[in-house]
Amino acid sequence: MGIEDELSGNALKVYKSMKEMAFLSEEKMGTAERITQSTKLPKTMVMNALQELQTKGFARRKVREKAAGYHLLK
């Protein structure tokens, strides 16, 4: 069972975009705004996809002073 089977289309697109931009650790996190720009999806779709990635254990959200940061776990 691959990642394609577990995630929706938008979540998969966000996942691949985060992987390309190397948001792979807490030191190299990206904001939802950066992810939105790279995927060219509406921000609400990106936020829903990020929520799905968090729920399924693929990503983590860290609250910071100005904007929350996201990075991949798997």
Q: Domains in the chain: how many in total?
A: 1
Please classify residue 50 by burial: count the beta carbons closer than 10 Å to its beta carbon, then call 0-12 exposed, 13-18 middle and 19+ buried.
buried
Q: Backbone phi, then psi, for 65, in 5-degree steps? A: -60, -50
pLDDT for the residue numbered 24:
95
User: Does the structure show a pLDDT above 70 at 67?
Assistant: yes
Domain extent for 15: 3-72
User: Does the structure show a pLDDT above 70 at 1?
Assistant: no
pTM (global) more than 0.75: yes
CATH number at residue 20: 1.10.10.10
pLDDT tens across 23-60, in order? 999 999 999 999 999 999 999 999 999 999 999 999 99
**Dihedral angle of Cα 53, 58, 63, 66, to the nearest 10 degrees:** -70
